[in-house]
Amino acid sequence: MSDINIRKVGKTGRITFTRPKALNALSYQMCLAVEDALDAWADDDDVKMIVIDAEGDRAFCAGGDIGDLYEAGVKADFAYGQKFWADEYRMNAKMFEFPKPVAAFMQGFTMGGGVGVGGHASHRVVGDSSQISMPECGIGLVPDVGGSYILANAPGQTGVYLGLTAGRMDAADAIHAGFADYYIPEADWPKLIAHLEESGDYALIDAAAQTPAESRLVANQTQIDAHFAGTRLSDILTSLQHDDSEFAAQTLKSMSRNSPLSMACTVVLIQRNRAFDSIRPALQQEYRFTYRAVEHADFIEGIRAAIIDKDRNPQWAYTLDDLPSLKVTEMLMPLGDAQLTFEKGE
């Protein structure tokens, strides 16, 4: 496949995203190819570890390739998205649970679907160009691909803050928030990867790691924890609106761009996922929303405004003032027989 290069090199299984002009956006076929590689290498004694990287300097993977989801959605084909997300989430779970070390080298943009691959590796490497985020609320979704599980385990209320603002994390922020493990200057990556291929020794990553600069999230932790501790979106908004600080003003500005329904559901989703000690139940919670997203949420309008017409002026179904709490409940209700089972062909 021209969009992804999967092969064995030395003692490693190697996955390289090879569509830099598209910011290495993850297509449906790429998801399936990654899953097939994980299945093949789990019991392959020749593969001591997996190394994942990407061509180009702008992005490791800037998210899922959502054009097909939009085209199906405007034709009222809701089954395509439901199958897409079910298959992608199964791959995300296998990446998280893979029985051997997995190293991901995440330069540039790593967003959404890219986090679903690199963010679940056991050894997550970032550098000076890294910009990691979960921007789904801006397109009418919720942080998914297991990203909500990482957000749920971030320090204090950092996960809620990042999920609602779609804030971008640099290397230091990503390490602080639990989206990355190691800062290594990107100039050192090719040599390190070559040594990993030769030896299969993941301890080389620890030896190469350096200390990043201070995280801005750490600097704002007190304000983040104070404002984002509410159990509902309205609680968080009220707290921010009664604060005349620059932090509160910028945070409200960021949130004003996003779908109110998506943000309200994200608050609930992250709170629920704090109770889980594994990724699968978190993915099942995410799937409750995404299963319904094309038909019942702001997803189609969010993609229209961001990707299709590019007017950056989405007309969300609800405002922050008129969002019914019942709608949030409905989007996150159990799916019954449609629940995500992680079985192929469901």
What percentage of the chain has pLDDT greater than the value 90? Answer: 95
The answer to whether position 344 is within a domain reads no
The number of residues making up the chain comes to: 346
Question: Does residue 295 have a pLDDT over 60?
Answer: yes
For the chain, where are the E strands, in sequence order? 4-9, 12-17, 49-54, 59-61, 102-106, 109-111, 123-126, 131-133, 182-183
**Gap between the Cα atoms of 201 and 11, Å rounded:** 9
**Gap between the Cα atoms of 59 and 98, Å rounded:** 24
**Gap between the Cα atoms of 226 and 167, Å rounded:** 18
Question: Structure pTM?
Answer: 0.96
- Give 125-142 pLDDT, tens digit per residue: 999 999 999 999 999 999
| Amino acid 60: pLDDT | 98
Question: Does residue 302 have a pLDDT over 70?
Answer: yes
Note down the domain range covering 319.
4-338
What percentage of the chain has pLDDT greater than the value 70? Answer: 99
| Amino acid 158: pLDDT | 98
The answer to whether position 346 is within a domain reads no
| Amino acid 66: pLDDT | 83
| Amino acid 68: pLDDT | 85
Q: What is the mean pLDDT of residues 284-306?
A: 96
What CATH number is attached to the domain comprising 194? 3.90.226.10
| Amino acid 27: pLDDT | 93
- Band of pLDDT at residue 65, cut at 50, 70 and 90: confident
- Give 18-54 pLDDT, tens digit per residue: 999 999 999 999 999 999 999 999 999 999 999 999 9
Radius of gyration of the chain (CA): 19
Question: Does residue 345 have a pLDDT over 80?
Answer: no
**Gap between the Cα atoms of 51 and 124, Å rounded:** 10
Number of domains within the chain:
1
| Amino acid 1: pLDDT | 56
Partnered with residue 111 across adjacent β-strands are 133
Write down the residue that tokens 């179904």 correspond to.
317
- Give 81-104 pLDDT, tens digit per residue: 999 999 999 999 999 999 999 999
Question: Does residue 346 have a pLDDT over 80?
Answer: no
Q: What is the mean pLDDT of residues 167-177?
A: 97
Write down the residue that tokens 């040599």 correspond to.
191
Q: What is the mean pLDDT of residues 302-327?
A: 94
- Band of pLDDT at residue 67, cut at 50, 70 and 90: confident
Name, in order, each residue with C-beta under 8 angstroms of 234's C-beta and a sequence gap of 6 or more: none
Write down the residue that tokens 């994200």 correspond to.
266
The answer to whether position 45 is within a domain reads yes
